[in-house]
Amino acid sequence: MINRLIVALLPYLPKGLVWVFGKRYIAGKELKDAVEVTAKLNGQKIKATMDLLGEFQTRAEKIGYYKNEYLKLIDESVSKNLDNSFSVKPTMFGLLLDEDMCYKNLREIVAKAASLGRFVRIDMEDTQCTDRELNLYKQLLNEFPGHVGIVLQAYLKRTLDDLKELVEFDQGRGLVNVRLCKGIYNEPAELAYKSKNEINQNYLVDLDFMFRNNIYPAIATHDKKLITGAYELINKYKIKPDRFEFQMLYGVTPGLRRSVVEKGYNMRVYVPYGNDWYNYSTRRLKENPHMAWHITKALIYAG
């Protein structure tokens, strides 16, 4: 109840207060902050996927700026010898405005990353983007095999069909690389499972399908039950450790993250940075089960 109230109040809270709670999920506002966090994670045997924050862009000059920032980021992480990939949100490059422009911008980023032996993952946004982002992925996968991946969301009823289509598209090459997450956007019940039980059940059905069909899964969750379910599937199908990885978000469940690393499995942490931190932070705050308590306490002390 209190959580729902705080979620409803979030848009009205001063940005400064949102930053106080949201900054734990962000490496910082500048590229050097993301580099620092990534180097630290690498020191703990953890890879990173670096993400420049910003989405749903409509202005061409801003889109050009973001593309150049990604190209800079790729140069910087290669020159610093960091162990990381990159995550991109296609709406940052005008996906909903002009698909061809978006493709050209993303292509430049993926081409540069691929030429330096690096990997780019296309994040999945809300359902107005699902088909468009899958199309982008297929196009780029043909051009840069082994250097590009996609995200699918277990809350969507269509995800198993999308996985089947990707297997057909792959034609046995074993190149399909999918980060499987629960999904963060508020989707209608016709399209998405709404209860935690159904989402979790679907997650494990999707993951089981991926293991049986030679799709490389990036198992992106902080849910202990799903991680245990993933361990069971890995043992059942005797999957080699280089055919999957776990992923978690920066600032979330570091203890659980350590326990996965200690088992000897590959772990990659999503490291977001940049000035456009607000939308990402509020999404994370809404997911934090203790958020209502932290914010209520802060408001009482501030008062």
Q: Which residues are designated catalytic?
A: 123, 179
Q: Largest Cα–Cα distance of the chain, in whole Å?
A: 62
- Which of these, 143, 39, 128, lies nearest to 81 by C-alpha position? 39
# of chain residues touching ligand FAD (CB under 6 A): 24
DSSP letter string over 88-125?
E-GGGGTTTT-HHHHHHHHHHHHHHHHHTT--EEE---
The single residue among 253, 258, 259, 261 that binds ligand FAD, judged by CB under 6 A, is: 253
Name the DSSP letter for residue 57. -
The answer to the question of residue 181 lying near ligand FAD (CB under 6 A) is yes
The answer to the question of residue 157 lying near ligand FAD (CB under 6 A) is no
Token pair for 84: 């990381």
The single residue among 183, 229, 272, 274 that binds ligand FAD, judged by CB under 6 A, is: 183
| Closest CB to ligand FAD among residues 92, 172 | 92
The answer to the question of residue 76 lying near ligand FAD (CB under 6 A) is no
Stretch that binds ligand FAD, among 57-65, 74-82, 178-186, 257-265 (CB under 6 A): 178-186
Whole-number Cα distances in Å, 111 to 117, 144, 243: 10, 7, 24
Stretch that binds ligand FAD, among 29-37, 65-73, 91-99, 242-250 (CB under 6 A): 242-250
Cross-strand bridge partners of residue 216: 177
The answer to the question of residue 123 lying near ligand FAD (CB under 6 A) is yes
In the region spanning residues 206 to 225, those forming contacts with ligand FAD, defined by CB under 6 A, are 220-223
State the nearest-atom distance from the C-beta of 152 to ligand FAD, in Å: 9
Name the DSSP letter for residue 56. S
